[in-house]
Structure 1
Amino acid sequence: MLKEGLRQDEKTEIYQRLPYDILDGMIDWVRVIDKNEIIIYANKTMRKELGEDIVGNKCYLALKKPCHCETCITQSTIKTGEILEKEEIIDDRIFAVKTSPVRDNKGNIYAAVEVFRDVTKERKLEYELVEKNEKMRSELAFARKLQEKILPKKGMYGNLLIDYVYNPSEMLSGDMFDIFNIDDNNIGVYISDVVGHGVSASMITMFVKQSMRDIKDHILSPRETLIKLHKGFLELGLDDDKYFTIFYGVINTKENTFTFVNGGHNCSPILIRDNRVKLLEAKGYPITYLFDKVDYDEHKIKLIEDDKLIFYTDGIVEAINEKGEQFGIDRLLNMMKYKGDQFMGYIEDEIDDFRQSVKQDDFAVLMMRVLK
C-alpha cells in the first residue's frame, strides 16, 4: 500500500518501477533477449551472479558459451510465440529454463523473456533415487533368482514323477512349495501361500522351507509337523498381519499311502484317478499369531499307479479375466480331464490365456504322479 501524501508523479514512478522491483526480488534469474540475441534486460539476481555487464551482450556470452545453443528455444519462441522449456547446465549447476514471448502494443513479438530456475538439488536427488532404484531392482532380481533356485527339482522322487508351474506376479513371490525325502520310505510335500507379496512374503517362504526341512528330520507325522511349525513361527515375533497357509502331506512309497493335513490352505488338492477328479478336502488353522495353540486332523488315502495329485494356490481360482470373470474351481476341475502328454504346459497355457494382460496374483501348480 502506498504512503499517503505522495505526489502523483511519485506514484506514477513507483507504479512504473513495480514490475522491475518484482523481478529484482525474485530468486530466479530473469532476462529478456531480443531478436538479435542481445540481452536487453537482466534482473538483479542474475546480474549479481553473472556480472553487471551482461546487459547489452550476446545471450550465450553471459553463460560463458563461445556460440549460441544448437537448440535455441528463445529464438523459437520469438518466431512462433510458443512457451518453451529446456534444461541448461551452467558452472555445474542445472537450470530449468522457460521462455515466453514479449509483445508490443500491436501484439507483435519483439523479444522473449527467459526464467532460469536452479533445479540442481532436485536433479541430484532424482539421480540418486534412480541409482538406488536400479540397485534395489538388481538386488530384487538376485533375490528372485535365488528364490527360483531353491525350488525342488523336477523329475523322479522314488516312484513319484514331479512337475510344476511357478508364476510369481512380482519380483518376489509369497507362493512356495517343496518336496523332500524324509527317509527311505517317506516323501514330504507341501504347498504354501504367504499373505502379501514382495520381500517380507518371500522371507517368510524361506522360513517355511528351512523349518520344514529341519522338522522332517525329527517328526514324521504331518499333524505334529504343522504344530511344530506354528510354534516356530510364533517365536519370530512378527506383526499380526503376517501369516500363511500350508497344505502338507507325507507319501509312503512302500505302502502307497498319502497322509495329509491342511493348515488353512483354501485350495484343496486334487486327486485324478481314471479321469475322475476328487478334492482332498480337510480343515485346519493357518499359521498365524491369532492362535496360541493349534491342532490338526490327519487324513489318509491309498494311492494306486497313475494317480495324479495336483497342488495349487489361490492365484489360479481367483484369477480375473478382462470381462471381470473369475477362473473358479469348476474351470480348474474341468482342466484336470486333459488326456494329452503335456499336462502342465496345457494348464499354464489355459491360465495365461484366461488372464491375458490383466495384472494378477502369484500362482503355483505342483503335480505328483504315481508311476508304480
Structure 2
Amino acid sequence: MPVSNFPPLRAVGRGRGWYRGDCHVHSVYSDGELTPEQLVAGARAAGLDFIATTEHNTAEAHGAWAPHVGPDLLVVLGEEVTTETGHWLALGIGPGQVVDWEYRVQDGQIDRYLGEVHGVGGLCAAAHPHAPYPSGDFMYPYQGFDVVEVWNGLWSSDRPWNADNEAALADWGRGLTADMRAGRWRPMMGNSDTHLEGQIGIPHTVVFAEELSTPAILAGIRAGRSWTAGSATVDLSLTATAGGRSAEVGEHLETSGEQVAVRAHVRGVRSAAVSFHTDRGRVHCASLPDHGAGVAEWLTTAEESAFVRIEVRHAQGHMAALTNPIILT
C-alpha cells in the first residue's frame, strides 16, 4: 500500500503544549463496531487531539485513516498485541507492521517483541493488567514496558472506574518507589479501549509534547509528562515549587533542602476530593467547592517525599483524574 494512504506522522501547525488523546481504540477492522470515519468524528466531538489505532493482532486498519484526519487530529499507528497471558499496546509502529502475539509468559519471548517495537521508535504499554476475562490478566513483568495502562474504560462506560482499575492503580503506585530507586520509573496512562459508540475519550491521556506528532507524543508519554482525565470537561495542573524553582507533572524539582509547596488546580469536577500521594502512600486530602473549580495545596520536603502525585475523585469515590509524579530531589 502506498505510504500516502497512511495518516501523517505530524499535524501541521500544532506546536508545544498539552494534547488530549486516546491510545486504545478499536474499529470494525477487529472487534469494534465503528468505522474509522465514525471514530474520528467521535474523537473530535470528545475534544481529543490524537488517537491511536490499536486493532487486535492486525495492521489492516493502518491505511484506513488518512482520508479522515487533518491538522486538528493525529492518528498514531499501533496494535493491541493480544497474547495468551496478557495484552499490550504497541504504539508508534511502522505502517503495516504487525507484532507477533502467539506466545505466553513462560515462552520467554516478550523481550524480543518489545525490542521490535522499540527498534522503530515505538512505545510499549501494558494494557488493562487486571481485565476480568481469559488472557486479560497481565502476567508479564513490567520490566521492558514503557508505561502501564492503569485506567481502562471498556467495562463500565457509564462510570469508567472499577475494581480492576483500582487494582492496577495500586500495583503501579506501589512500584513507583522501587522503580525510582532503580533509576527508571514507569509512567501510567488511561485509555477508553473503545469498541462501541460513546466510549471514545472516556478516559484519555493528556500529554505535554513539543508538537502534535507521533514522535513527540510518544516522547511525552515515555517521560511521564502526562495525566489521565475521565473526560475533556476535566482539567488540572499540578506544580511543585521550592526556592523560586518549579516543576510540573513528570519533571524533577531540585529543592536544595527547601520546603516544597505543591498546588493542584482542578476544574470540571464538582465536590471533588483531591488526594496527594508520595512514597509514604496517601499523605493529604482536600475537598474542592461544589461549583467544580478550586485549588488544593500541601507542603513537604524532598527528605519527606521522594515524589508527589495526585488523584481527583468524584464525591461518590470514582476517579475523575490522576497524574504521574513530580520527582523531588
Answer yes or no: same fold by TM over 0.5: no
Higher Rg of the two aligned structures = 1
TM-score (ref. length: structure 1): 0.26
Structure 1 or 2: larger helix share?
1
TM-score (ref. length: structure 2): 0.29
Q: Which structure is richer in relative contact order (CA contacts within 8 A, separation 6 or more)?
A: 2
